[in-house]
Amino acid sequence: MKHISPKRTGKRGQRGYALLMMMFFLAILLLSMAVAKPTVINDLTREKETEMVWRGKQYVRGIRLYYQKMHRFPIELDDLTKPKTLGVRFMRQAYKAARCSAA
């Protein structure tokens, strides 16, 4: 008895084009990601730097208000954040330094 194979669609010379196209699009995707990576890293670094500048300005503001009220500089951070003498806080919280590394 003869074995009958199912009928294949398409010509024999056109096999593998879908795989080839997928590999081509994957290569294009990888190249575009390699180009976009430095931009994304720079944007993240810029956001961290902006946040650090804002925190620094908050410290400057707190120290200035403390000096205007007490006529001396604060000795520790708790002087700015905890209501001790007059029941006044000069900063809401003590901010931690954010890590910002140059790429």
Note down pLDDT in tens along the chain; length 103 residues. Answer: 666 666 655 566 677 888 889 999 999 999 988 888 888 889 999 999 999 999 999 999 999 999 999 899 999 888 888 887 778 888 888 887 666 555 4
Residue type, 41: I
Give the distance, in angstroms, between the CA of residue 22 and the centroid of all CA atoms in the same chain.
31
**Residue 80 confidence (pLDDT):** 87
How does DSSP classify residue 12? G
- pLDDT, residue 103, reads 46
- Backbone conformation region of residue 10, classed left if phi is above 0, alpha if psi is from -120 to 50, else beta: left
Q: Is the entire prediction scored with pTM above 0.85?
A: no
How far is it between the farthest Cα atoms of the chain?
107
Q: How many CA atoms lie within 13 A of 103 on its CB side?
A: 12
Quickly list H helices, the chain.
17-70, 78-81
